[in-house]
């Protein structure tokens, strides 16, 4: 009697690991030998368990799946099936995964693609995986797209908010209107040290989403808003394919620490087209140049309109500089955030 094909599931979501393990174990001829939450754990489990096939997610902490796939194929080639929201047919990430050596790419379950569909399709691929001529699938000269896509593309979106005078009320209006399914938010409000923690706690009690004063290394995830602590700059960064925040010291920028420009510049560099920047009421010009960098990087950029501002300083400077693509009333900002998240936002000139 033929031995079942042994499978290792690699995904940072405990729910996905549990569901895939359960559903694949129901399939004839397949045995799930383990699950791993990230590539570093997976590496040790592959050496220990020697699975026949690995299923691999792309968006994971510490190291993204595409980078791990390339390392695996270089040092320990084996059949890998990518299971990821990024791996829809026809997308550049799917091509990059195949060029890196994946046997096939399968999208994660969604509204139109049930876990049953995924498990059935995966089972067929897994059973046939051991017969694949692996060397023929491995590209020894990755294309430019394959070499860069792991950090350029993600399903995660991030929203950056900047505010000053009048911003405490403006942020409350925006955040109170957002559901838990909203994108992760990073925000800088000009506020002295010692006040930001209590302000974040107050907002957290009023809002459906989680609001907290940011600490270094916090993940930027849906339904969470992270506020720059007083007297420190807040920057967006990556940990593998995850967005995280960095809390850094340094000189004042535009007379402020935290500075909106510092935040926006980091978001432009790290998130680019996956980001939305909004500059709210405030005095001065902090944030205008950083928002221009965001717009140049492909981000969506908004300014609060003059009629709804307490002080039309920062938004005005962003509009004058050509950084803001459009101006909207304060009460419309949350709706635009959700439209951006859904991919349905239509940009109108500021």
What is each CA distance from 181 to 107, 161, 177, 278, in whole angstroms? 20, 17, 12, 19
Express each pLDDT in 63-81 by its tens digit: 999 999 999 998 889 999 9
Statement to judge: residues 144 and 187 lie in one domain: no
CA-CA distance, 253 to 232, in Å (whole number)? 11
Statement to judge: residues 235 and 128 lie in one domain: no
The pLDDT confidence band at residue 21, using thresholds 50, 70 and 90, is very high
What is each CA distance from 163 to 88, 150, 318, in whole angstroms? 38, 32, 12
Express each pLDDT in 168-188 by its tens digit: 999 999 999 999 989 999 999
Statement to judge: residues 126 and 65 lie in one domain: yes
Asked whether the predicted pLDDT for residue 227 surpasses 50, the reply is: yes
What is each CA distance from 292 to 48, 191, 258, 299, 350, in whole angstroms? 50, 23, 18, 9, 13
Statement to judge: residues 183 and 324 lie in one domain: yes
- Please answer whether residues 226 and 218 qualify as being in contact, where contact means their C-beta atoms are separated by less than 8 angstroms: yes
Q: What is the mean pLDDT of residues 223-231?
A: 96
Q: Percent of the chain scored above 90 by pLDDT?
A: 67
* Residue where one domain finishes, among candidates 152, 167, 201: 152
Answer yes or no: is 197 within a domain.
yes
Q: What is the mean pLDDT of residues 301-313?
A: 95
Express each pLDDT in 23-71 by its tens digit: 999 999 999 999 999 999 999 999 999 999 999 999 888 899 999 999 9
- By residue range, what is the domain housing residue 311? 158-342
Point out the catalytic residue in the list 261, 286, 293, 334. Answer: 286
Answer yes or no: is 308 within a domain.
yes
Full DSSP string of 151-204: HH--S--EEEEEE-TTHHHHHHHHHHT--TTSPEEEEEE---TTTHHHHHHHHH
Asked whether the predicted pLDDT for residue 304 surpasses 60, the reply is: yes
Point out the catalytic residue in the list 164, 259, 266, 308. Answer: 164
Q: What is the mean pLDDT of residues 244-265?
A: 96
Q: What is the pLDDT of residue 154?
A: 54
CA-CA distance, 338 to 179, in Å (whole number)? 9
The pLDDT confidence band at residue 101, using thresholds 50, 70 and 90, is confident
Asked whether the predicted pLDDT for residue 1 surpasses 60, the reply is: no
Q: Is 327 in the active site?
A: no
Q: What is the pLDDT of residue 91?
A: 59
Among 111, 108, 130, residue whose Cα is nearest residue 119: 108
Statement to judge: residues 147 and 172 lie in one domain: no
CATH number of domain containing 258: 3.40.50.180
Answer yes or no: is 11 within a domain.
yes
Q: What is the pLDDT of residue 149?
A: 40
Asked whether the predicted pLDDT for residue 264 surpasses 70, the reply is: yes
* Residue where one domain finishes, among candidates 108, 130, 152: 152
Statement to judge: residues 24 and 48 lie in one domain: yes
Answer yes or no: is 349 within a domain.
no
Statement to judge: residues 191 and 251 lie in one domain: yes
Statement to judge: residues 123 and 164 lie in one domain: no
Statement to judge: residues 172 and 121 lie in one domain: no
Among 282, 333, 13, 83, residue whose Cα is nearest residue 168: 282
Q: Number of folded domains in the chain?
A: 2
Point out the catalytic residue in the list 190, 233, 256, 336. Answer: 190
The pLDDT confidence band at residue 152, using thresholds 50, 70 and 90, is very low
CATH number of domain containing 75: 3.40.50.2300
Answer yes or no: is 246 within a domain.
yes
CA-CA distance, 235 to 265, in Å (whole number)? 8
Q: Is 204 in the active site?
A: no
Statement to judge: residues 99 and 206 lie in one domain: no
Q: What is the pLDDT of residue 60?
A: 87
The pLDDT confidence band at residue 113, using thresholds 50, 70 and 90, is low
Q: What is the mean pLDDT of residues 272-291?
A: 96
Answer yes or no: is 60 within a domain.
yes
Statement to judge: residues 144 and 271 lie in one domain: no
The pLDDT confidence band at residue 87, using thresholds 50, 70 and 90, is low
Asked whether the predicted pLDDT for residue 116 surpasses 50, the reply is: yes
Q: Is 14 in the active site?
A: no
Q: What is the mean pLDDT of residues 132-157?
A: 46
Write down the mean pLDDT value for the chain: 87
């Amino acid at each position: 009697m033929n031995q079942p094909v042994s499978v290792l599931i690699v995904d940072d979501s405990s729910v996905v690991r549990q569901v895939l393990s359960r559903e694949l174990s129901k399939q004839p001829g397949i045995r799930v030998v383990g699950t791993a939450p990230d590539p570093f754990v997976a590496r040790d489990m592959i050496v220990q368990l020697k699975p026949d096939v690995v299923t691999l997610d792309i968006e994971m902490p510490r190291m993204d799946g595409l980078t791990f796939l390339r390392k695996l194929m270089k040092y320990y080639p084996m059949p890998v099936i990518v299971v990821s929201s990024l791996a829809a047919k026809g997308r550049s990430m799917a091509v990059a995964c195949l060029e890196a050596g994946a046997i096939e790419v399968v999208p994660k379950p969604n509204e139109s693609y049930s876990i049953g569909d995924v498990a059935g399709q995966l089972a067929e691929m897994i059973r046939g995986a051991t017969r694949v001529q692996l060397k023929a699938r491995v590209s020894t000269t990755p294309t430019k797209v394959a070499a860069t896509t792991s950090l350029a593309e993600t399903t995660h979106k991030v929203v950056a908010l900047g505010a000053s005078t009048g911003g405490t009320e403006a942020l409350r209006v925006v955040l109170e209107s957002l559901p838990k399914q909203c994108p992760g938010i990073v925000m800088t409000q000009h506020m002295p040290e010692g006040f930001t923690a209590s302000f974040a706690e107050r907002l957290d009690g009023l809002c459906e989403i989680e609001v907290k004063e940011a600490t270094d290394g916090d993940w930027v995830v849906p339904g969470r808003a992270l506020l720059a602590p007083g007297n420190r700059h807040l920057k967006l960064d990556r940990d593998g394919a995850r967005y995280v925040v960095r809390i850094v010291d340094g000189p004042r920028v535009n007379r402020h620490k935290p500075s909106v420009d510092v935040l926006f510049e980091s978001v432009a560099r790290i998130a680019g087209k996956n980001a939305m920047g909004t500059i709210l009421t405030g005095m001065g010009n902090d944030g205008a140049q950083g928002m221009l960098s965001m717009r140049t990087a492909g981000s969506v950029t908004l300014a609060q309109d003059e009629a709804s501002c307490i002080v039309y300083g920062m938004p005005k400077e962003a509009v004058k500089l050509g950084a803001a693509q459009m101006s909207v009333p304060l009460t419309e900002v949350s709706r635009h955030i959700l439209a951006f998240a859904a991919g349905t936002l239509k940009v109108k000139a500021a």
